[in-house]
């Protein structure tokens, strides 16, 4: 029998909902998520007191496997325009830079 990891997306989305209230894309935050740098986000979850160490480990493992899970949770309550704006910025990070910009 396979046991699924708990899904904390809704709770995480609720905790960070105000981060996306203005709809502007914070490129530094997006780059850090895309690069798998979750320390700030995990620290905030830990400080909230809603997650025990096991839950934090589970969340960190899920995000390492798929950083888009954090972005999805963060955008859970975002309006369509904000969601599209962030997803477009995310997809631009997935594309390699043109050769002329390397160096």
Contacts 24+ apart (CB under 8 A), 19-24: 19/74, 20/74, 20/75, 20/77, 20/78, 20/82, 20/86, 23/78, 23/79, 23/81, 23/82, 23/85
Question: 86: closest CA among 96, 99, 73?
Answer: 73
pLDDT tens-digit profile, the chain (103 residues): 444 566 788 889 888 877 766 667 788 989 999 999 999 999 999 999 999 999 999 999 999 999 999 999 888 888 899 889 999 999 999 886 654 454 4
pLDDT at 40 (0 to 100)? 93
Q: Hey, where are the domains in the chain?
A: 8-93
- C-alpha distances (whole Å) from 33 to each of 1, 2, 69 are 32, 28, 10
């Amino acid at each position: 029998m396979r046991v699924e990891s708990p899904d904390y997306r809704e709770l995480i989305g609720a905790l960070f909902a105000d981060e996306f209230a203005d709809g502007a894309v914070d490129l530094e935050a997006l780059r850090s998520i895309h690069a798998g740098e979750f320390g700030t986000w995990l620290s905030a979850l830990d400080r909230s007191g809603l997650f025990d160490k096991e839950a934090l480990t589970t969340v960190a493992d899920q995000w390492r496997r798929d950083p888009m899970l954090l972005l999805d949770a963060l955008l859970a309550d975002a309006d369509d325009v904000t969601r599209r704006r962030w997803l477009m910025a995310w997809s631009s990070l997935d594309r390699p830079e043109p050769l002329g910009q390397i160096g």
